[in-house]
Structure 1
């Protein structure tokens, strides 16, 4: 696996020296702090109402309720979590639909030049499909954000039918991230007293059976943690988060992303970005908006999260001023882009193309503030790689 320079915020010995001395040691106590963006400041809004750094451009890929250009697929309402998959010399972007009863997943296919060549459904008539995660075997896990929600494994090419994965638990799912190094899938739970889970398949690459575990630990924001098996992943009559004594609580689990030994996840109730070191089994804080020093926090309403090849994390806002913020390996957090005129929406589904030069994301409710007004964008430019 490619080695990447992801930041390690908090309790690891020697971390301050790795990033240049005592000043970083002090900053680690509060996590990432505001600073100058490596991309520079945001310019005036472009024709799509998006403020970007110099050298970047945006385009609209799809709008809810309208046919995707050159295709017969009507883009779904409330686009949410998404991911990109390599498709020969092109790629596919998949996107959830976070609506009740008629949710699911849609996909847009691009050629090597970024031209749209197709669009289609890969999952239909499921319930409040919020986020999810991509697998190394090229499937998309779409998660239902309802109290008895399930995980559906879908085919980004739309060839194989979607399969529900009940062994991964029934709870208010949000996102998941696959850790191929240790053989787990991590899952977040979007309730105020939610948990972080991990699922170990019986056979790697087959999510049909396995063991669901929940993180155990006290109230500390850093230190060692343990895991315990959830006795009844079906969550009935006792919800999964209440089945294990000492399960660690997280206030509204949101995005989840794994890279280079670390599972990064966000919690919206306290505007935090967490880092779980999968090798050491330790937890730490990467960002906490209440611990930002020297002014207003640049990142609020934390939600979906993804990463670039160089180690930058990109965190989307649900609320705030509708930004995607970057957190650099040096521990600097700064706006990367801002969407204007859409205060009734949220930013969802950030994902990079396989080459890392295009970022896809959606404004879930667009300018209308309604699930029928979603807009999916592409940003192209000199991303750090």
Structure 2
């Protein structure tokens, strides 16, 4: 396939997720192949059971069922998708990490607030009374979209500052088995993935940018190949009843279990767990192709399996978390190399969720959804700090 590049773009906009909109195309030859990590080999597991490259350290931020240190908030079960929001401006600004809870009933989302030094200063709920909140996405106007991964699920728009009562249901964005969301400020749309084996890829076109209360839901239409051109078609009934949204438009392209989603500078990347692929949409040319496919890795065994949540850095690296596999977060570099960045030991019945960078790009947050116990009540949320490429 034609070679593509991630451009190492400067950070644009302040106060959204850490580097949520800074990746762009630079010579990503699709699909990426095995190679050495830019950070070097993984070292023996640290005291938290995490294998990291030399120079990186980890700490536990929160554990499900226990109070977050120094706060009165009990961390939620099954922490899943997450994002980081800047909290203030300038050198004294801290940040907020928002995390979903993938349980039913209960669900919702919580948050941890940090000061500029990284010390925890508060923790609280931002969403209550929902079901199976899996992934989501940060909006440029500084809200968190929390998505229900159930048939007929909704998207909820939340304030990362809380309280939970400020969260608003957004039915115009469609009722289906939602997974992730990502804003495209250039085309003024929000992209959405669907977690079913014959799912679709959507975009929501708000009537007014910044207001998700009304708009048009559209679905990607393309052929059955792994690359080609695409177009958008309007979903006649976003409510999805009695006909599911994915079955309303002839020619809608099917994706096997849509998961994580990341947008940056005219490109969207999303993962499909059913076939262990990372897809790449060129939104200026309306083309799509594979950025990674574990069945096409050569030589050797694929390092990345069970693809799930994804985020990106200002340098141009993608970080893809595994649901199962070796319990790794793998990096896909601008040089088309895929390699493990970290591995969690002893969490064989868990999955890695919610990777997100701080505004400075020197800390990465993520969770092991079920920890070492294999139960939703055993979730652990971590911070990794070190010399990330920026």
TM-score bucket (shorter structure):
over 0.9
Give 3-state SS (helix, strand or coil) of 2:153's partner.
Answer: coil
Most deviating of 85-94 and 152-161 = 152-161
Give 3-state SS (helix, strand or coil) of 1:46's partner.
Answer: coil
Asked whether the 8 Å contact 1:5–1:310 carries over to 2, the reply is no
Q: 1-side partners of 2:47 and 2:359: how far apart?
A: 26
Q: Deviations over 1:178-227 (max 9, x none)?
A: 00011110000000000000001000000000000000011111111011
Q: CA deviation at 1:108?
A: 0.1
Q: 1-side partners of 2:361 and 2:256: how far apart?
A: 32
TM-score (normalised: structure 2): 0.93
Q: CA deviation at 1:8?
A: 4.6
In the other structure, the counterpart of 1:246 is: 251
In the other structure, the counterpart of 1:151 is: 155
Residue 381 (structure 2) pairs with residue 376 (structure 1): yes
Q: Deviations over 1:326-348 (max 9, x none)?
A: 00011100000000001000000
Q: CA deviation at 1:5?
A: 5.2
Q: 2-side partners of 1:215 and 1:188: how far apart?
A: 11
Residue 327 (structure 2) pairs with residue 322 (structure 1): yes
Residue 324 (structure 2) pairs with residue 309 (structure 1): no
**Which aligned pairs between 1:14-163 and structure 2 lie closer than 5 A?**
28=29, 31-88=31-88, 89-159=93-163, 161-163=166-168
Q: Once superposed, which parts of structure 1, at least 4 consecutive aligned residues long, lie more than 4 Å away? A: 1-5
Q: 2-side partners of 1:275 and 1:35: how far apart?
A: 20
Q: 1-side partners of 2:273 and 2:23: how far apart?
A: 26
Asked whether the 8 Å contact 1:5–1:329 carries over to 2, the reply is no
Give 3-state SS (helix, strand or coil) of 1:241's partner.
Answer: helix
Asked whether the 8 Å contact 1:350–1:362 carries over to 2, the reply is yes
Q: 1-side partners of 2:355 and 2:188: how far apart?
A: 24
Q: 1-side partners of 2:286 and 2:239: how far apart?
A: 26
**Which aligned pairs between 1:1-12 and structure 2 lie closer than 5 A?**
2=12, 4=23, 6-9=25-28
Q: 2-side partners of 1:176 and 1:55: how far apart?
A: 33
Give 3-state SS (helix, strand or coil) of 2:246's partner.
Answer: helix
Q: CA deviation at 1:7?
A: 3.7
Which of 187, 209, 219 is residue 214 of structure 2 equivalent to? 209
In the other structure, the counterpart of 2:17 is: none
Q: Deviations over 1:17-71 (max 9, x none)?
A: xxxxxxxxxxx3x510010100000000000000000100000000000000000
Q: 1-side partners of 2:271 and 2:27: how far apart?
A: 15
Question: Which segments of 5 or more consecutive residues in structure 1 lack a partner in the other structure?
Answer: 10-27
Give 3-state SS (helix, strand or coil) of 2:116's partner.
Answer: coil
Number of aligned residue pairs: give it.
Answer: 366
In the other structure, the counterpart of 2:361 is: 356
Asked whether the 8 Å contact 2:24–2:267 carries over to 1, the reply is no
Residue 348 (structure 2) pairs with residue 343 (structure 1): yes
In the other structure, the counterpart of 1:367 is: 372
Question: Which segments of 5 or more consecutive residues in structure 2 lack a partner in the other structure?
Answer: 1-10, 13-21
Q: 2-side partners of 1:346 and 1:5: how far apart?
A: 27
Q: 1-side partners of 2:372 and 2:253: how far apart?
A: 38
Alpha-carbon distance change, 7 to 299 in structure 1, aligned in 2, over 3 angstroms:
farther
TM-score (normalised: structure 1): 0.94
Alpha-carbon distance change, 76 to 284 in structure 1, aligned in 2, over 3 angstroms:
same
Alpha-carbon distance change, 264 to 197 in structure 1, aligned in 2, over 3 angstroms:
same
Residue 298 (structure 2) pairs with residue 293 (structure 1): yes
